[in-house]
Amino acid sequence: MNRPLLSDSYYYIVLEDYRLDVSIGIHDFERAKPQPVTVSLAVAFPRRDHYADRITEVIDYDFLRTEIAALVHDRHINLQETLCEAILKICRNGGAKGAIVRSEKNNVYPDAQSVGCEMSWFDDGVLRKA
């Protein structure tokens, strides 16, 4: 996942290739059973000038896995775009100032590793100016 450079006041928390079984898709055969989906994200948070090396000083990134797992549990999602938008909302609600989210179905085409969707949003001032 390519990530734009952040201004010096921000940093990314990265969750790469988080594997889940998700009930996703518009076709009847996709509704029959969950599909393997990989989710990757880079989430921008404000940096501090100094860290005291305690979890209370930073974002506990376990919340990303927990919230994403809860999002897809016991629910059907038609579109990967819907999944990405919902994950972006989780990031916003968790205090992020920007994020890139990618969803990939891994077993769709025999001649492709995956097919997916990628979305992003960043508040003003988060990205480094060119």
Domain boundaries, the chain: 10-122
Instruction: Please give the model's pTM, rounded to 2 decimal places.
Output: 0.93
For the chain, how big is the Rg over CA atoms in Å?
16
Contacts of 58 (CB under 8 A, 6+ apart): 45, 51
For residue 65, the model assigns a pLDDT of 95
- Point out the residues of the chain with pLDDT beneath 70: none
For residue 57, the model assigns a pLDDT of 79
What is the C-alpha end-to-end distance of the chain, expressed in Å? 20
For residue 130, the model assigns a pLDDT of 76
Q: Using alpha carbons, list the distances in angstroms from residue 84 to 91, 98, 116, 128.
A: 11, 13, 10, 24
The matching CATH number, chosen from 3.30.1130.10, 3.40.50.300, 3.30.465.10, 3.40.50.720, for 10-122 is 3.30.1130.10
Cβ proximity of 69 and 45 under 8 Å: no
For residue 59, the model assigns a pLDDT of 81
